[in-house]
Amino acid sequence: MNIYNYLLERLPLTLLKMPRTTKRAIAISVDIIICCAATWLAFYLRLGEVIDLKIIWRPIILSISLSIPIFILLGTYKTIFRYAGKGVIFLTGKSCLVYALLYAGIIMTIGLEDTPRTIGIIQPMLYFSGVAMSRVLGQLWLTPTRANGSGPNDLKIALIYGSGKTGQQLANALQGQVNIRVAAFLDDDHRLYGNKTNGIPVFAPSEIPALIETKRVSLILLAIPSLSHARKIEVLKHLTGYDVQIRVVPSLYELAAGTVTLADMHRLEIDNL
């Protein structure tokens, strides 16, 4: 295998199979490099000359000390390996805006030694540009179907938890949706594992991590309206351990009565149960 195939095929797959903490550590490392590059470039644009990094270490340390905690607190690193498109850019922009306000406030009001005040404006703009570009290019690299233009940027690969009547009806309804594709059913009944329901394979919930990585899953739909309150909380606690969206499907009675539609699927949170 030549270097081209390795970089475009083998390496992205290897990265996606890494533990979540490792992937986030890589993302943080990339952002730290962007912090340094954005600060250096800001000084170059402001002063018109090449600056030694040893001279501008203070604004670099300030940039890293502010941006990384803000990105962690706002959940930026929870989505970059799973979603693409407007959602990632919006969350990145929001995180960078908070960062810019704090960074500019410190530089322009308190000040740093050997640091022009205009750096507080130039650097955050460059930093956002670098981070946004890294997210877009990273998603194109990690998701070949998007890079090759074979599907819409907002396509969601979904798993349906529950292969009963509600799950099957949901899968049939989603066949007409251009932005959601059902990859598999999840079910607690071990007798169904390895079989297909309506042409869709059925897996055990324990297979979720592998399915997320191999199928690029970004959405799990809970389609078991008959679940008890306690069991629903138990399932939710299990599902929220993954970097995917979770939605709960209305009951068959509500769908049949016309009081709700599939568009009324809502995000499942422990606090709402």
What is the predicted pLDDT for the residue at 77?
A: 81
Q: 176-216, pLDDT tens digit by residue? A: 666 788 999 999 888 998 888 888 899 998 888 888 888 88
Q: What are residue 181's DSSP bridge partners?
A: 157
Tell me if 159 sits within 8 A of 217, measured CB to CB: yes
- Distance CA(209)–CA(190), nearest Å, equals 18
- Distance CA(83)–CA(49), nearest Å, equals 39
- Distance CA(185)–CA(160), nearest Å, equals 5
Helix (H, G, I), strand (E, B) or coil at 107: helix
Tell me if 67 sits within 8 A of 134, measured CB to CB: no
Q: 152-161, pLDDT tens digit by residue? A: 456 788 999 9
When comparing pLDDT for 2 and 229, which is higher?
229
Interval 16-32 mean pLDDT:
85
Please list, in sequence order, all residues whose beta carbon lies within 8 angstroms of the beta carbon of residue 37, skipping any fewer than 6 positions away.
Answer: 126, 130
Q: 96-154, pLDDT tens digit by residue? A: 999 999 999 999 999 888 899 999 999 999 999 999 898 888 877 765 533 344 444 56
Helix (H, G, I), strand (E, B) or coil at 221: strand
Single pTM value for the model: 0.55
Could you tell me the end-to-end alpha-carbon distance of the chain, in angstroms, rounded to an integer? Answer: 51
